[in-house]
Amino acid sequence: MIYHYFRGKNNLYREVLDEAYEQFVARLYREITEPDPVLALRIFVQEAAAAARENPDVINLLSVENLHQAAHLEQSKRVRDLYPPVLAQLEGILRAGELSGAFKPSIDARHLYLSLASMLVHMISNRYTLSVSLGMDVSAEPFASAQLQQTIDMIVGFCSNFGVSEHSTELASPSRRNLRP
């Protein structure tokens, strides 16, 4: 039957991957009408977290696809069309925040999304090893909610125009890191 409908198991896997991505991004992308850019960004992060927490199997599937260096995803015709609306929404929030003076200028939405995804996905994709290492279930409440709150605060704090120093985008050179061997 697989060969009849999908012409092979790779096509079936690609179809599963496409469907999983579509469901994940559909949950991730919710139109945010909040006019305050700081609150809008907080809502964006909460929605991204909800999408990740509600779809741990998608996170697992993406981990497997990364092991395969995105070989199946690269052949997808649908996946590339899914993220532009999400990034456009984030870009709109960032530009509104910049215009209002609440956010630093010129924050790249792609970089911010990658940072956000890294924070959210790491805890889910590594929940079992982190739980053993930390001696607690990191996906259980109230820890998971506290971690989400910290992620929101970190993302909003990074974007915030308050307390920005001239060194905020500067990487410390090895001689300035004050590290001991």
Which whole number is the average pLDDT over 19-24?
86
Spatial distance between the Cα atoms of 118 and 78, rounded to a whole number of angstroms:
23
State which H helix or E strand residue 51 sits in. Answer: helix 37-54
pLDDT tens digits along 81-125: 888 999 999 999 999 999 999 999 999 999 999 999 999 999 999
The answer, yes or no, to whether residue 172 has pLDDT greater than 70, is no
Cis peptide, bond prior to residue 37, ω within 30 of zero? no
Residue 15: band (very low, low, confident or very high) from pLDDT cuts 50, 70, 90:
confident
The answer, yes or no, to whether residue 164 has pLDDT greater than 60, is no
pTM score of the predicted model: 0.82
Give me the residue spans of the domains in the chain: 2-161
Higher per-residue confidence, 5 vs 49: 49
Q: Which residue has the tokens 């805890």?
A: 123
* CATH superfamily to which 2-161 belongs: Tetracycline Repressor, domain 2 (1.10.357.10)
Percent of the chain with pLDDT over 70: 85
pLDDT tens digits along 36-76: 999 999 999 999 999 989 988 888 888 888 898 988 888 88
**Res 168: pLDDT:** 47
**CA proximity to 48, closest of 154, 131, 148:** 148
